Amino acid sequence: MQRSSFRYHTCKGFFASCGETTLHTPTSSCTTTPLVVISSGRNMSFMADPAEDAHANGVYRTLQREMAAESPGGRYLVADNSGHNIQIDQPDVVIDSIRSVVQDIRDHQSGNPGP
């Protein structure tokens, strides 16, 4: 898979694009917005075939890591004990991530770059 600038999939295009990517390029505001991307730690069961499912999950996680990497200060986290509903399976991970984004914004507004 080739890497291009800031990519993500919608559910509609995800399965068809596991081999190729046709993706979204953000507006310039995305580069200044704090970003935390949280991936599920458990496989998402995209496909019935185990090999295809492993590939699809790998592609999905790679794209999520790339999305986080495209934002200055972007962070990529894995919620190890979660499936698709991270906010239900591990709400503490989501809450901590929201708090960190809010703190990043406050630090930026006050002129303190934070840690």
Neighbours of 108 (CB within 10 A): 14
| Residue among 33, 35, 36, 54 at smallest CA distance from 44 | 54
Residue 113: per-residue pLDDT: 63
Total-model pTM: 0.68
Round the average pLDDT of the chain to a whole number and report it.
77
Sign of CA dihedral 87, 73, 115, 112: negative
How confident is residue 114, by pLDDT bands cut at 50, 70 and 90? Answer: low
pLDDT of 35 higher than 70? yes
Helices (H) and strands (E) in the chain, counts: 4, 2
In order, the DSSP letters of 95-107 are HHHHHHHHHHHHH
Neighbours of 86 (CB within 10 A): 20
pLDDT of 39 higher than 60? yes
